[in-house]
Amino acid sequence: MTFTLKFKDIDEKRDIPKENYTIKDLLNDLELSSQTIVSKQNGDLVIEESEIRDDDEIRLVQIIYGG
């Protein structure tokens, strides 16, 4: 089972490494913080507890702070 990851210059198919693999697991694997990343699953905004399923497209968007 695989999903597509899109983040910055990354656009690749990845294996789903375990059952019940979540957005939070993916962020941990990539060493990213959920405080600075917005996650979209198949075009919809999702929370980090959302489970990644076969053929999903996961897009991670970096939040930019300014002032």
pLDDT digits (tens, 9 = 90+) for 38-55: 999 999 999 999 999 999
Which amino acid makes up residue 48?
A: E
Say if residue 66's pLDDT is above 80: no
Backbone dihedral region for residue 30 (phi beyond 0: left; psi -120 to 50: alpha; all else: beta)? alpha
Q: How many residues does the chain have?
A: 67
pLDDT attached to residue 34:
87
d(CA 67, CA 27) in angstroms, rounded, equals 26
Q: Of 16, 6, 3, which Cα lies nearest the Cα of 60?
A: 6
Within 10 angstroms of residue 48's Cβ, the number of other Cβ atoms is: 14
pLDDT attached to residue 64:
84
d(CA 17, CA 47) in angstroms, rounded, equals 19
